[in-house]
Amino acid sequence: MHPDSLTVAVLFGTGTPRPEIQEILETLPQLSILGHSCDPENFLDQHQEKSPNLVLVEMGAGDAVPDWLEKLTEGLPQTPILLCSSNRDPDFLIRAMQVGVREFLPLPLNPADLDAAVNRVWQSKKRLLAADNRRGQIIVVTGHKGGVGATTVAVNLAVAMTELMPERLALVDMGRPFPDVANFLDQEVNYSITDLIHNLSNLDQSFIQRIMQPYGKKIAILHGCSDFKEQDGLELEAVEKIFAILRGLYRFIIVDLSHWLDDLFLQVIMEADQVLMLTGLTVPDLRNLKKLWPMFNEWHLAQNKVKMVVNRYDKGNGLQLRDMEQITHQPVFHTLPGDYHTLMDALNQGTPLMTTAPRSKLWRGLEQLAERIKGDNPRGEAEELVGAAAPKRKFWVFSKART
């Protein structure tokens, strides 16, 4: 048996076996097939004593998500469901994700697609096995476009959280093309994440602590890569290893993540326990979000992990929070008021708002956000599976053009 073997049960939801699917499954050495069934109603009873590691469901070209599929995901809550169908209608896909389907594989089934999906399941299984041994929580701050204030929120959120706990926390700058945390805090950069990438063979807690740059008594900063050429060298495996070590060092790791929708973005989101997605509340913002949110659903990111934060919120601009909630189908997690002059003073001085404007509404809003993050602190959301990430950098939706 393959050392990374997973058990799989196959359900032909149309009631008719498809031999070509079983043949493809048999070509993957990491899979051990428990059996197949053409009876959706009794499938759960057949696997009550021993649940498979994953279930492959074939649905042909069905137009609607059947009730038995939702019962299946509820009956096997810890088992990833892979759905095969030739129906690629967005409403169908979103509904499938809502009932708990983890992966969608188009028909006719491509062996490479199935192999990639199975590997993602295996990686998720390994992360679950290691979850009990890790302590730190990764909080990613990002936006659906440039200029929404991700660095401002990440930096000040880190400062606010230090007021709520005795431990140190980490602030990681993954801004591209311009990592700005050092500028926001008026620091000269001595070392950066590039130094870690170049020394992966020596990477351990001691080495990372020497690279982290202190800010005050409670924040350790991992500065970003300012060399444009070096930024393409941030390999996904290296990022995973860095975050694994950081989890063992710090209770919270705040990540300032740029909005480029490439493999590195997805890797960091996959590592995160919570993602604060910043946006404004304008018609263009809502239109962009309406295009982006179905992709988050497809990548299994939208439910619970990605939380909307409306920055520069103004109740009098004609739009309401429910306009955004109709798109995301979840309540807005938090709002932050606009305070341009106060913020500009802090940026120009290179200091956090706690120092320059501790009584401002914006700083109070950031303190409240920190309290919510510390109180929420979920386990397990980081184990959600996401869409395929190819081994080499590519672009998922947009190019590297900045908005």
Q: What SS3 state is found at 36?
A: strand
Residue 65 to residues 71, 77, 168, 386, Cα–Cα distance (Å): 11, 18, 47, 21
In a domain, 220, yes or no: yes
Residue 46 falls in which region: left (phi positive, over 0), alpha (psi -120 to 50) or beta:
alpha
Of the three residues 131, 160, 188, the one that is the final residue of a domain is 131
Nearest to 269 by CA among 142, 121, 117: 142
Contact (Cβ atoms closer than 8 angstroms) between residue 306 and residue 333? no
Of the three residues 107, 131, 155, the one that is the final residue of a domain is 131
Residue position matching structure tokens 């979000």: 289
One domain for residues 84 and 144: no
**Per-residue pLDDT at 385:** 32
The encoded tokens of residue 151 equal 């660095």
Of the three residues 96, 131, 166, the one that is the final residue of a domain is 131
Indicate the number of domains in the chain.
2
**Per-residue pLDDT at 201:** 76
One domain for residues 127 and 259: no
In a domain, 398, yes or no: no
In a domain, 390, yes or no: no
Given the DSSP bridges, would you call strands 306-313 and 169-174 parallel, antiparallel or unpaired?
Answer: unpaired
One domain for residues 90 and 107: yes
In a domain, 74, yes or no: yes
Burial class (CB in 10 A: 0-12, 13-18, 19+), 227: exposed
**What percent of the residues of the chain are helix, what percent strand, and what percent coil, each to the nearest 5?**
40, 20, 40
Q: In 10 A of CB 375, how many CB atoms?
A: 8
Residue range 368-380, pLDDT digits in tens = 999 999 886 544 3
The encoded tokens of residue 274 equal 């919570």
Q: What is the dihedral of CA 143, 145, 149, 152, to 10 degrees?
A: 70
Q: What SS3 state is found at 106?
A: strand
Contact (Cβ atoms closer than 8 angstroms) between residue 8 and residue 25? yes
pTM for the model stands at 0.64
One domain for residues 209 and 173: yes
Q: Looking at residue 78, which CATH number applies to its domain?
A: 3.40.50.2300
Separation CA 370–CA 71 (nearest Å): 37
One domain for residues 115 and 141: no
In a domain, 389, yes or no: no
Q: Looking at residue 271, which CATH number applies to its domain?
A: 3.40.50.300
One domain for residues 199 and 299: yes
**Per-residue pLDDT at 132:** 43
One domain for residues 322 and 188: yes
DSSP state of 136: -
One domain for residues 165 and 297: yes
In a domain, 198, yes or no: yes
One domain for residues 177 and 158: yes
Residue 258 to residues 31, 132, 159, 402, Cα–Cα distance (Å): 37, 29, 20, 10
One domain for residues 111 and 146: no
One domain for residues 97 and 234: no
Residue position matching structure tokens 């926001």: 184
Nearest to 72 by CA among 143, 10, 146: 10
Residue range 28-59, pLDDT digits in tens = 888 888 888 999 888 888 876 678 889 999 99
| Segments of 327-382 assigned E as strands | 334-337
**Per-residue pLDDT at 377:** 56
**Per-residue pLDDT at 387:** 34
Domain containing 77 equals 6-131
CB under 8 Å to 238, separation ≥6 — which residues? Answer: 196, 197, 200
Q: Which residues pair with 278 in a beta bridge?
A: 143, 309
Give one DSSP letter per residue of 261-300, joined into a string: -BHHHHHHHHH-SEEEEEE--SHHHHHHHHHHHHHHHHTT
In a domain, 391, yes or no: no
One domain for residues 216 and 331: yes
In a domain, 400, yes or no: no
Q: In 10 A of CB 297, how many CB atoms?
A: 21
Separation CA 28–CA 2 (nearest Å): 10
Sites in the chain below the pLDDT cut of 50? 1-3, 131-133, 378-403
Residue range 252-291, pLDDT digits in tens = 999 999 887 788 888 898 889 999 999 999 999 999 988 8
Contact (Cβ atoms closer than 8 angstroms) between residue 364 and residue 372? no
Residue type, 129: L
